[in-house]
Structure 1
Amino acid sequence: MKNLVIYTVLICFGLATPPLFAQGDSYINDYLERLENSRKYIVLVAETMPEDKYSFRATPESLSFAENLLHIGYAMDWHSQSLLGGRASRDWQTDTIFKVSSKSKAEMIALINSTFDETIKLISEFDTTQLDDHLDYFGLNRSKRQILMLLADHITHHRAQMLVSMRLNGLTPPRYVLFQ
């Protein structure tokens, strides 16, 4: 009888466990679809803005169009590779990879694309059992699931600033892409 109870518990646990993991996989799959759509849209925005307008700032204290673009790349790298992947963080003040300096429009777009590739690869291989693990995020205790949401918000925030720069230059931004 005791063995029957143990087998029953094991079977019930076995039946209950896959949906828990499937939920994580479903979240990651939905997230990756959103991230890929976000990539398509931001690349379209970056391609639409003329290169001679990449240094435009909406206000003197604002990031330029180009700085917003590469800041998105830096943040993707930091959120994915450092916070989720455990790699040491780049220093925003001294990093040269995501600084505009003398990069051309084509080089910046290529950098954003490769950063999306690296981020998508890391997230697609992410151990979903870690989604509820917590870490420090600017002094706040946040789960890795929340880190993914913060990354998506951050991309949207800076892309919106890029769209304003386009409008202020008399350009019509590309039509909004859903599910990003």
Structure 2
Amino acid sequence: MSEQEQPTDVELDGATVENPATDAPVDAEVLQEITVESVQAELEVALAKIEEQQADVLRAQAEVQNIRRRSEQDVSKAHKFGQEKLMTEVVSLLDNLGRAVEAGKAEQATVDGLLEGVEMSQKMLLDGLKKFNVEQLDPHGEPFNPELHEAMTAVPNPDMEPNTVMEVFQKGYTLNSRLIRPALVVVSKA
């Protein structure tokens, strides 16, 4: 059939309706029942999918809350116990300094023995700090760098280049290459 020959109107008020595809008469009530039943079945399927998706959303929200709570606890623990290894190094240093003090109290203590003990403790502390990426800045003889050094004074010195660190009052320190304390220095001037 061509488009002009196909029936385009379907009337539902009469007892029968012509099916445009088969030209067979179809009962209007059957057509309505099929339509209502199929729509109702589709609606029930859609409602079941919605309930399932809502349950999935609730589970996902609960999981997100659990992850957030766990991560907050992990961050809290990291802040609380993050310095534990550093403190272990510091406590070891305190033990050595305590032994040096006890040795100094002994009658046969010598200055050389005490100095050796303090130097060993200092080395132990510096080695422990290096494990945590703390580096000491001792810029003696280096060119002055205002990003790492703080000039306390400038002194004329014909034997040194201008703006060279002549003396270090206090050594500086970096943590992970970030300055945590500048070195306090005396700088040569022309």
| TM-score of the alignment, normalized to the shorter chain, above 0.5 | no
- Could you say which structure has the greater relative contact order, defined with CA pairs below 8 angstroms and 6 or more residues apart? 1
Structure possessing the higher radius of gyration over alpha carbons: 2
| TM-score using structure 1 length | 0.32
